[in-house]
Amino acid sequence: MLAQLIYSLAIYSLLYGRAAVAAPTEKPVKHRNLIFMISDGFGLASETLARNYVQATKKYPLEWASVLDDLLVGTTRTRSSDSFITDSAAGATAFSCAQTTYNGAIGVSHDGKPCGTVLEAAKQAGYLTGLVSTARITHATPGSFAAHVLHRDMEELIAEHMISYNSRLTPAPTVDLMFGGGRCFFAPKTPNPAAGNPKSSCRTDQLDLWKFAQTKYGYSTISTRKQFDGLKPADKKLPVLGLFADGHMAYEIDRKPAEEPSLTEMTNKALAMLHSAASAPHGNDTSRAPGFFIMIEGARIDLAAHDNDPATHLHDIIEYWNAVAAVRKFVDTHPDTLLIGTSDHETGGLTIGFDPEYVWYPDVLTPVKSSAEAICAQIRPLSKNRDKLKDIVMTQVMPTQLGIDDATEEEIHDIVKGAGGSSKACKHAVGHVVSDRARLGWTTGGHTGVDVALYAYGAGSSNIRGSKDNTHVGQLLADFLDVDPGSITPLLVSQQTEQIGFGGKAVDLKPGKAESG
């Protein structure tokens, strides 16, 4: 894992690490591509963490800048309609609908009514559309661009909306390309893998969305690395639904390249496929799509911060950097393209250093080989056999997975105790051992209400400057594409927004209720 990270850093720094990069020449063009990147849960302290780490481990000068540093244009103010601290659902809906809504809301306004999204408006205007995420594709952020449900946990219904099941919009699917995780929400309660369906299901009904996507809209459905590698942009094979894990995709630190593509690989493939398809005539029609809109999410940055797991957080940040660098290269060769990037919120309340020392130690993160999530999945089943658990922690977890050869009795005790508690307690115990040694602090296992960075590059980027409300960012997206999400809202009046049998959780939400992610 260390070798993989060092190689990734070397390639990144060789191609993209420099103090400043000039934006491509801006020209007024009719063809438009908009790439919106969301680094979920990524705050300014997290950017500092990653930049410091690279500077320290690669011996770069203090003035070295990351790819994101080069693109910084302002900040985004984060909140929801019911709290100064937003969750990802309300945060993403602020971007997609340009409206403030309550925590937990997916593509609905504060009164629970569907609101048209920039992706849907782009599709209605003829653009091709895409969603890429390292989370479940039905998770809060991607879901908020193509679904309309009262609560983010209604993922069965979100899956239906994502592939335009009972669509109230165009006869074609709303989303042309989807890459991510979350296969299980597309398989019937009783899976039928022999028919090419996912092997496991998270659904409570027998709806086979995998088959529906194939037969109704002609989706190419893929679920393996081999199938992903076999996708050729020149084939213009859209729509495509590529889901490479039953749940979330693996953290970058744990990812097995032979099994799952990286965020950067999915990004490159998605851009190539959308660009190729948008450049081709539509069947017998000589007209071409005006361009494409895609949302790309580095989702697991957030989940690592929820776990207070600094090394895992770092690996996903650096992979997100690589994806941003890939997008920047695309923009450089396609001057009709705008990249806008921001975060929905900050997670973890990360601090670089803590009292009384003015210091932190980046090298502590280098030998860590596994996420706290993977470690706890290994040791929690041993919690009833405390002696065996302690031995595994001492002989495997500490030296092999965390790179700690001089573990103290207190550190061993903390992890053993955490393993006997909840999953969250275990992950925090593991993460805090590494964090304490590195002198990194966390104020919460949830979100905070601080502003986050705003980035822009390419066509029209010089007009994006300053502090923006999260809904204003959403309006920037619509304005660049010259579309009106509000024009879609009347078409969604009869859209089903509540999942049958869900239990009324959405209507019982209290203001400020915490949502994970």
Residues that are catalytic: 88
Question: How far is residue 228's CA from residue 266's CA, in Å, rounded to a whole number?
Answer: 9
Burial 77-113 (b: 16+ CB within 10 A, else e): bbbbbbbebbbbbbbbbbbbbbbbbbbbbbbbbbebe
φ, ψ for residue 421 (rounded to 5)? -105, -150
Strands (E) in 273-321, as ranges, are 291-298
Residue 32 contacts residue 25 (beta carbons within 8 Å)? no
3-state secondary structure 191-258: CCHHHCCCCCCCCCCCCCHHHHHHHHHCCEEECCHHHHHHCCHHHCCCCEEEECCCCCCCCCCCCCCC
The angle at the Cα of 109, spanning 132 to 205, to the nearest 5 degrees, equals: 60
Residue 54 contacts residue 47 (beta carbons within 8 Å)? no
Question: How far is residue 297's CA from residue 323's CA, in Å, rounded to a whole number?
Answer: 10
Structure tokens at 312: 């895992």
Question: How far is residue 516's CA from residue 299's CA, in Å, rounded to a whole number?
Answer: 12
3-state secondary structure of 468: strand
The angle at the Cα of 387, spanning 381 to 389, to the nearest 5 degrees, equals: 35
* Amino acid code (one letter) for 156: E
Pairing of strands 452-458, 72-77: antiparallel
* Amino acid code (one letter) for 246: D
Structure tokens at 222: 């893929």
* Amino acid code (one letter) for 424: K
Question: How far is residue 80's CA from residue 511's CA, in Å, rounded to a whole number?
Answer: 10
